[in-house]
Structure 1
């Protein structure tokens, strides 16, 4: 089972992305959140095709924290149905992953 994960979400304003990333890092649910944007997303919503400018958040964490991380994103996310996708990290720089683990919430 993979220990490390990257969680992806999008929001419609840079300020929301910054607020989300700061909250996750402050709570130590993420060691790092990268914000990319603006990007353009095309999707179905309410029976029609939509195009929106969004900001992509790449959240680095550990699988053990996923449930709490997802709840936190849902609690503060502005969308009715936010994209929250978890991707396992199968390999990575040993030093980076050690750093990541040290920055995350420890088992209580």
Structure 2
């Protein structure tokens, strides 16, 4: 009987691994696989969350955009860093400006929707929207982001 249970356990474990690998192959089902893996192992999947950098011409514009982003649950939090000095090449001219830098904390799966929204409301012709994957972090903070920024 123990031999049968051991074989059954091996078959079920193999089936679960094959199912998880299959889910990872299909992009639409990747989130399901991530949640299953996280639930089974209790570990954080690197890259599930992202930091997004966004510059704005001033604090007033930044606050309006930040508030709307948080209200729409496209990010859990937006930190606004006042007065960064930027030097860049625009239309073949070296330009120097003072801006604010915003750091948004969100789910990686929301980056596309977030970027579309920013482009629709931002005063710059080409707004900066750059994301960086979160490798690790405070599990309670990352869980808060998940609870705040819901999946579609």
Please give the TM-score of this superposition, normalised by the length of structure 2: 0.68
Question: 1:43 — aligned with what?
Answer: 88
Structure 2 SS opposite 1:95: helix
Alignment of 1:17-32 (within 5 A): 17-32=62-77
Q: What is the number of residues matched between the two proteins?
A: 107
**Does the 8 A contact of 1:70 with 1:84 survive in 2?**
yes
In the TM superposition, residue 13 of structure 1 has moved relative to its aligned partner by 1.2
Write 1 or 2 for the structure with the bigger share of helix: 2
In the TM superposition, residue 29 of structure 1 has moved relative to its aligned partner by 0.4
Structure 2: give runs of 5+ residues left out of the alignment: 1-45
Aligned pair partner of 1:84 in 129, 134, 137: 129
Q: Please give the root-mean-square deviation of Cα atoms over the aligned residues, in Å.
A: 0.9
Of structures 1 and 2, the larger Rg is shown by: 2
Question: 2:142 — aligned with what?
Answer: 97
> Which structure is higher in RCO with an 8 Å CA cutoff and minimum separation 6?
1
Please give the TM-score of this superposition, normalised by the length of structure 1: 0.95
In the TM superposition, residue 63 of structure 1 has moved relative to its aligned partner by 1.0
Write 1 or 2 for the structure with the bigger share of strand: 1
Question: 1:64 — aligned with what?
Answer: 109
